[in-house]
Structure 1
Amino acid sequence: MQYLVATDSVHTTAAACDYLEDRLERDDRVDVVTVPAAEERDAEDAINVANARLLGQAEISTERLEGDGNPANAILAAANDRTADTIIIGPHAGTPDAGPEMGSTARRIIEGADVPVVVVPLSL
């Protein structure tokens, strides 16, 4: 199985890792991508969490993507390029001030994906 985790925060990454924990098999692959916005440090920390939590459970790769102002397009292109079987995202930016509703990037990914999209709940 090929998973694409799209994250912009440690909260989203942790929730994705929680979701994958019981599902991963050794021959699975997890590509963790982030599209840095204003806080590039958050993106780096998000990648570090994925490496720490998933190491040894599956093949892991990480990449920072260029979003050109549209992270949803970059994430959908990454899923297509990597032939992802499933995309895993958070419902919105993984920041404490984000509300409970679905964010615009998550909506665009769900609407544009050709594969299942799992939206993991965030515990902030």
Structure 2
Amino acid sequence: MQRFVGTDSVHTSAAACDYLERRLTADDGVVAVAASDEPTEERDRQEALNAFRVRPAGVASVETELRGGDAAAEIRAAAEERGAEEVVVGPHRGDPDVDAAPGGTLVDLLGSATRPVTVLPSA
């Protein structure tokens, strides 16, 4: 199975790895994508992707991709390009101290979902 993660922070990446490690098999692949239209956020996005270099363990392949542009649009496009069977995302920006309201990226993804979207629990 091809699992796809949209991430924006190390917090979201860690939660995604926790979620995936309980579900992945040696035949599964993981693609993690971080996107932003703000150049100042590129470092945070790259750190979020770095978590996937060491986790999850024991899967067939792990790929990461840093994209520029609107996060929801880029996650949606990348999932479509790669034929993702599931999209895993956090509930809001990666800061665990943010209120519990769904974030704009999540709302946009759910509003145009063409494949299952799994929302990770808040930290």
Please give the TM-score of this superposition, normalised by the length of structure 1: 0.91
1:94 aligns to 2:103 (yes or no) = no
Q: Kindly report which structure 2 residues correspond to 1:29-68, keeping only aligned pairs within 5 A, or say none.
A: 29-36=29-36, 37=38, 38-67=40-69
5+ unaligned residues in a row in structure 2: which ranges?
none
What is the CA-CA distance between 1:55 and the residue it aligns to? 3.9
Q: Kindly report which structure 2 residues correspond to 1:78-117, keeping only aligned pairs within 5 A, or say none.
A: 78-117=78-117
Contact map agreement 2:11 2:96 (CA 8 A) in 1: no
2:58 match: secondary structure: coil
Partner of 2:14: 14
Partner of 1:26: 26
- Output one character per residue of 1:54-108: Cα deviation in whole Å (capped at 9) or x when no partner: 14333100000121xx211111011100000000000110024421110111111
Q: Which moved more, 1:42-51 or 1:83-92?
A: 42-51
* Aligned residue identity for 1:42: D
Distance 1:110 1:46 in 2: 22
5+ unaligned residues in a row in structure 1: which ranges?
none
* Aligned residue identity for 1:53: R
Distance 2:67 2:43 in 1: 14
Contact map agreement 1:11 1:122 (CA 8 A) in 2: no
* RMSD (Å), alpha carbons: 1.3
Distance 1:86 1:71 in 2: 17
What is the CA-CA distance between 1:112 and the residue it aligns to? 1.0
Distance 1:120 1:72 in 2: 16
Distance 1:58 1:122 in 2: 28
| Aligned residues between the structures | 121
